[in-house]
Amino acid sequence: MVSILIVILILLCCYVIIYQLWLLAVINRDIQTIRLVRTSSRPVSIVVCARNELENLKVLMPLLLQQKYPSFEIVLVDDGSDDGTPTLIQQYPDLTYVRIPPEEKVGLGKKYALQKGIEAAKNEIILLTDADCRPASVYWLTEMTNPLQDGKDIVLGISPYRTPHSLLGALVAYETAQTALQYTGYAIAGMPYMSVGRNVCYRKTLLQTKRWNAQELNIASGDDDLMIQSLANGQNTTVCFSPSGYTYSKSAATFREWFRQKLRHYESGALYQSKHQWLLGSVLIARAIAYLLFICIGIAGLISGDFPSLFWPVFWGYTLLLTITQGLLHNILSLNKYWPLALFFDFLYCIFTVVLGLLSRYKSTVNWK
């Protein structure tokens, strides 16, 4: 019986490592074809949806205006703020300002605000970001729009968190890196399934074809994932891997805040296409069962004083390979400086992902902020 469990453990570990190496290879191959030529000049509309984000907007607006780009507008959708946001807008007369009164929108989440911003945008290229985001450079607009060529209509961007030096900060960094590995890798492999709404670029004509159904409208968040599920395919979607095209956000300050944030994000997972649910779920299940087997066989070995001969080679081999893959990921995308502790954070990531994924199926949120 123990021998069978060890064989299963080896197979699961191999699956997890091969899966990550495959995604890394796909991403690295695409990055090698990138040419750092800042030539994009097509007019762009930056759409920002905000609710009670006055302090963040005070920082973001000057950063957007500093972008080295020949032609762009900023569209700010004020989703019923009561923090003085309209007063700030008076400082920016060229801004396209859309105010949504609280009584106009009840229970429709961020999707309604996004729709209003898209309708108000004057340009064909629309770049979405959030009020609490900070462009990595003055070339953010250029980097995010450059890939819109050869029939591409969607550019997925990367948006790391600026994390504190704490257990939560390290876990958020690890989770962010894993998410980026998967959604960018799948997109380049021709199977896009999500984006981060903090940094994603579309052609307006494509966005205008999106019609939210009743099931989608019942989810307060998830607009970024659900738009990709409806609009993206292997031919029209690409990724901006340039660090100059990143946006950065401040991470959640407490575990409770992070849990609530992730619950909102995970709600849309139930509406993913079945192939995406199966692929993403399979590697998570493989991780979970592998850790369960490590724990059970390890405890049995401690009690009996007799570990199976292959247990420690498998454990240390998996630890080494997992650490190497996370080191490679950080070397390519610069997302997780805690990669030397990969096994510890991968274990925590697995637990929290399973728990939050299950909770999201039974606990719905009503607000996007």
> What does the pLDDT average to over 211-221?
67
Specify the pTM.
0.90
State pLDDT tens for residues 57-103: 999 999 999 999 999 999 999 988 888 888 888 889 889 999 988 77
Cβ atoms of residues 154 and 200 within 8 Å: yes
3-state helix, strand, coil in the chain (%, to 5): 55, 10, 30
Predicted local distance difference test score (pLDDT) of residue 182: 96
Least confident stretch, 185-189, 347-351, 352-356: 352-356
**What distances in angstroms separate CA 320 from CA 172, 178, 180, 350, one per listed residue?**
22, 17, 22, 18
Six-digit token string for 23: 């995604």
Predicted local distance difference test score (pLDDT) of residue 86: 86
The number of beta carbons lying within 10 Å of the beta carbon of residue 164 is 14
Helices (H), 96-200: 109-120, 140-145, 167-188
Separation CA 103–CA 3 (nearest Å): 64
Q: Is the pLDDT of residue 339 over 90?
A: yes
Contacts of 95 (CB under 8 A, 6+ apart): 61, 73, 74, 75, 76, 89
The number of beta carbons lying within 10 Å of the beta carbon of residue 167 is 12
Cβ atoms of residues 346 and 322 within 8 Å: yes
* Element spanning 31, H or E: helix 2-31
State pLDDT tens for residues 249-279: 998 889 989 988 888 777 777 778 888 889 9
Average pLDDT, the chain: 89
Rounded to 10 deg, the angle between the 342-362 and 311-333 helix axes is 80
Contacts of 266 (CB under 8 A, 6+ apart): 356, 357, 359, 360
Cα–Cα nearest to 14, from 283, 278, 275, 281:
283
Separation CA 322–CA 328 (nearest Å): 10
Separation CA 150–CA 81 (nearest Å): 40
Cβ atoms of residues 196 and 224 within 8 Å: yes
Q: Is the pLDDT of residue 201 over 70?
A: yes
